[in-house]
Structure 1
Amino acid sequence: MTSFDLVLLRFLLASLGCLLAGLSVWGLSALLRRYLPALAAQRSIWLLGQLTVIGTFVLILLPHSERVRLLLPIEGATETVSHYLAPAAPAAVPSQPVAPLTQTQRDERPWLNLAAYAWLAVYLLGLVYTLGRLLHGQRMLNRLAGSGHGLPDCAAHAGFGSELARANRAQVIEVDAPISPMLLGPMRPRLLLPRHLREFDPMQQQMIVEHELTHLRRRDLQWMTLGLVLQTLLWFNPFMRLLRASLGWAQELGCDRDVLRGRPAAQRKVYAAALLAQLKLQARPPEMALAFGSIDAATLASRLALIRQPGSVLRSRWTRWAGVAALAGLAAGNFALQSALAGNVAPDLAALNTIRCIQLMDAASGRVLQREGQCEARVTPASTFNIAVSLMGYDSGFLRDAHTPVLPFKEGYPAWIPEWRQDLDPTGWIKYSSVWYAQQVTRQLGAARFQRYIEAFGYGNRDVSGDAGADNGLGYAWINSSLKISGDEQIAFLRRMARRELPLQPQAYEMSARLLKLASFSNGWEVYGKTGTGYPVKADGKEDKTRAYGWFVGWAAKGSRTIVFAYLVQDQKEEEGAAGPRLRAAVLNQLPAQLETL
């Protein structure tokens, strides 16, 4: 499972999720339109509805945090080899059941992966088609504007008698075409007036022009642009088109309300007659276009109702509070939808995101004996990094043998388990996975030499900078910080170690192997290795104990043959005990017999 595959699966899920979000938002909006018409007539409700739908899409699409936090207290408390493994026979090794490391669930569900690729192709084709329609509509309007002529002296037109019209800053173009007066272009607004408008009553001309310029004053073109962009991005979602149409309806009502405010009933009737007359004369512009002005028969009834009873949709304090409540309801509904998707739809995707790797390689030939799962995925090395630290310590001369040096514990050192609050030698360090002992080794090396070792080892992403801005790489780079490594990279590092191809003194290999030896089995295989345990961190910063990572890496030797191995699992539910030691117990229970078949 590649990272691109996971992105495509999230994209498929996000597309389905935004359809459900659109349905819920449209249902709530329909209720508002029926029972709270004053609130539904506000343009912000409909734009917020579109933003809620696309917000759902983005939230599902975004990957969860995969930042790993090391669980050292559990790791250290369960890290003793003798607790899990008797050095005699495989049968003596206690084990706990773990999920088998056979194939990733992606291989078990090829149809889901194919569906994700197919949907990406369909989406891109639809997006290109929708953008083509948008560009075609704009070109038609531009050609229409180009066919007319400008009105440098607007005062000569009866429609520019009001104070708002006289303050107009848009370019006015008169065209000989059966259109409705319209405003187009969010960046360089132009007001298109049909020549037949001059045949209307002067008061009608003035109110119609004032209506279009009110769109300009209210920045409705910018609102429409945003709504159209959102609709274009989610072209497959019919609710986005419905919400944008309702946004346009609310904007028309808002301009009518402003134009008619304070006017007598006679002028209101004149305006209504002008709308009806214009409806009979106009030819509608393209739907996918950035323009105001078309009179829609479907919304004309609402506009005429406003003219007859202007008080029915006037804003008031209670409608504002209702608006706040509606916005909160939309946000809460979106959050609930996210939870539902995570609980009901996302488990398949979560399983696909679960990292599992098993890899064994012949150290001499480099032949891959077994490779399954996401062995390219990088996570924290956790306690497995102590293999590299041991090699550095013995090569530099700071570590001398299995029991030298003994380093004293000092207050202020990490002491996450009781076993760390004592003086430790190299054997105790590895046994208890003591962080402070490893930190003393790396700090004795110094930052420059530490970095040189990492580069020479080719270890993971080779980033030992530590936490951003904290300057703590020497002590914490491998602990839930900058240093990451994959199963493939663990194998490459261990193979070079087994072949003694690292630029190290011979005693570094010999003493490290002595510390890392786990067992000698009756069939002649000797196994060396180290575990590591960590957790992903959720969005709220807490450790996700249901998705623990477990490492078990090392090598097995028999005679002249050496096989290096790397196992990585991620739990799908909370398990008892640390993931690394559980994995090691299960692997050692079957590894000696498996090695005989390779």
Structure 2
Amino acid sequence: MTPVSQVFDVYIDLNITLAIATLVWVSAKLMMARFGNKLDFPVQLGLLNGLFAIILLSPIAAAAYQCMLSQQMVPAILSVNLADYAVSQYLRGGIAIPAEDFQALLGFRARLSESVLTLAPGVGTGLALGLLAGFAWFSGKLVTSFVRLYRMLATCHDWRRNGRVRLLLSDHALVPFSARGLLNHYVVIPSDLLGEPEDLKLVVKHELQHLRQGDVAWEIGLELLRPLFFWNPFFYVWKSEVERLRELACDQRVAEKAHVDLRSYCMCLLRAAQAGLRKRGHQTGGDRSNGIAAVALLEVQDRLLRRSPGQKLRRRVEALLETNRIRPHRGMTLLAVLPMIAVIFLTALAIQKPADWSQDRLMLSAIVNLERLETINSFGQQPLR
């Protein structure tokens, strides 16, 4: 196996693992909602970010486990492989399809990967060109967003500075937002907020909380991965969930730690939304303030196939007024999340390619050859009347 094919296999494994993990997360969320349990938003956000880090590390964990199996450091009975399990079930009679069709089904992924990597005419070339075109398109949008953000920051005016955190004033930003560079963190505030001192205090607290939570770093990471996962719908479901919990967690933390008046906070969000929509109506170039590396106070742009800004604002206000959310002990949280981690790890193991030809696979190959031989021999026989 060439290094290119190994990298492509890891890429496919990551997409499959992300899909399974997303389904598990959504199922767990629906189950909790059905039983009336509501976790703190910061807890949910921490779990989501932690699970995503585990997803990215799952190929390494799976490779390490396979290495331990090959070195007999782990008993062979603990081997987990979906293809080997399917072959075992077929030989036991649990799967009733022709052996040749079953073998072709098992080798579908390998054939598809080979056709893409070798640019085989037809499907292989089409998929390869589609992946390359999508990667180039979204990479270009990524670079454009970085340039746009740099230009936005360059037009801002320095207001205050505390260590690596710089507070900037902008005459063009639709809404307040936070961003970061390699060394510094930035909080950009529309200059007209200077005339609203109470709103200004709440906005600064909100954006600084985003920086404390590391929300900007996570947003950068997800955007950097978008060109790789652009075709995977589960990536967008996961990213949308992160964006939703990020704002709700930040609102909850500010309301708790800063002891702000909830009514004043909600009215501040409403006024910021009104100001952003009003500015958007006067701008011809659209919103250029909250591109990559920027986490805005709220969204004032309509996005295709997503909830409108008005719906998101309503959800944030309703969430702020909820008082029955629980914050479990860390030990209980870890205990509850262990099944999710196990599912991610088992998925990463199950979708690995078998290391070599096992006895069951040799038996399957023998059955396929016998069926082919029987088919060849039957051509010369007279049909029964």
- Shorter chain as denominator, the TM-score bin is 0.5 to 0.7
Distance 1:315 1:186, change over 3 A: farther
CA contact under 8 A between 1:285 and 1:294: conserved in structure 2? no
Paired residue for 1:272? Answer: 266
Instruction: Describe the superposition over 1:133-178 as per-residue Cα deviations: whole angstroms up to 9, x where unpaired.
Output: 2221121121112122222xx4xxxxxxxxxxx9675222211125
Match for 1:45 among 20, 44, 47? Answer: 47
Paired residue for 1:334? Answer: 344
Distance 1:110 1:192, change over 3 A: closer
1:276 and 1:340 mapped to 2: Cα distance?
A: 49
Describe how 1:497-516 pairs up with structure 2 within 5 A: none
Describe how 1:66-81 pairs up with structure 2 within 5 A: none
CA contact under 8 A between 1:25 and 1:53: conserved in structure 2? no
Match for 2:157 among 149, 152, 167? Answer: 149
CA contact under 8 A between 2:40 and 2:326: conserved in structure 1? no
What RMSD in Å do the two structures reach over aligned CA positions?
4.0
Paired residue for 1:21? Answer: 20
2:337 and 2:142 mapped to 1: Cα distance?
A: 30
Match for 2:292 among 269, 289, 292? Answer: 289
Instruction: Describe the superposition over 1:59-108 as per-residue Cα deviations: whole angstroms up to 9, x where unpaired.
Output: 678895499789xxxxxxxxxxxxxxxxxxxxxxxxxxxxxxxxxx98xx
CA contact under 8 A between 2:172 and 2:190: conserved in structure 1? yes
Larger radius of gyration: 1
- TM-score, normalised to structure 2, is 0.63
Distance apart, 1:122 and its partner CA? 3.8
Indicate the larger mover: 24-33 or 123-132: 24-33
1:11 and 1:341 mapped to 2: Cα distance?
A: 10
Distance apart, 1:230 and its partner CA? 4.3
Paired residue for 2:115? Answer: 114
Of Structure 1 and Structure 2, the greater strand share is in 1
Distance apart, 1:229 and its partner CA? 3.7
Letter in 1 for 2:46: S
CA contact under 8 A between 2:206 and 2:297: conserved in structure 1? no
Q: Percent identity?
A: 17
Residue 191 (structure 2) pairs with residue 195 (structure 1): yes
Paired residue for 1:210? Answer: 205
Distance apart, 1:289 and its partner CA? 0.8
Letter in 1 for 2:147: R
Higher RCO (C-alpha under 8 Å, 6+ residues apart): 2
| DSSP-derived class of the 2:361 partner | coil
1:171 and 1:333 mapped to 2: Cα distance?
A: 42
Instruction: Describe the superposition over 1:166-211 as per-residue Cα deviations: whole angstroms up to 9, x where unpaired.
Output: 96752222111251111111531111111221243x2222111111
2:332 and 2:65 mapped to 1: Cα distance?
A: 35
CA contact under 8 A between 2:168 and 2:186: conserved in structure 1? yes
CA contact under 8 A between 1:183 and 1:212: conserved in structure 2? yes
Indicate the larger mover: 135-144 or 226-235: 226-235
1:32 and 1:322 mapped to 2: Cα distance?
A: 17
CA contact under 8 A between 2:199 and 2:268: conserved in structure 1? yes
Letter in 1 for 2:319: L
Distance apart, 1:126 and its partner CA? 2.6
Structure 1 gap segments, 5+ residues each: 71-104, 155-165, 343-348, 356-545, 548-570, 576-598
Describe how 1:22-421 pairs up with structure 2 within 5 A: 22-28=21-27, 30-31=29-30, 34=33, 35-42=36-43, 43-56=45-58, 64-65=66-67, 113-117=114-118, 118=124, 119=127, 121-151=129-159, 154=160, 169-187=164-182, 188-200=184-196, 202-261=197-256, 267-282=261-276, 283=280, 284-285=287-288, 289-296=292-299, 297=309, 298-309=311-322, 311-313=323-325, 315-317=327-329, 320-338=330-348, 340-341=350-351, 350=354, 354=356
1:131 and 1:61 mapped to 2: Cα distance?
A: 29
Distance 1:234 1:250, change over 3 A: same
CA contact under 8 A between 1:186 and 1:225: conserved in structure 2? no
Structure 2 gap segments, 5+ residues each: 73-105, 119-123, 281-286, 300-308, 365-385
| DSSP-derived class of the 1:190 partner | strand
Paired residue for 1:555? Answer: none
1:32 and 1:150 mapped to 2: Cα distance?
A: 48
| DSSP-derived class of the 1:38 partner | coil
Distance 1:325 1:196, change over 3 A: same
2:275 and 2:331 mapped to 1: Cα distance?
A: 41
Paired residue for 2:9? Answer: 10
| DSSP-derived class of the 1:292 partner | strand
Q: Alignment length, in residue pairs?
A: 300
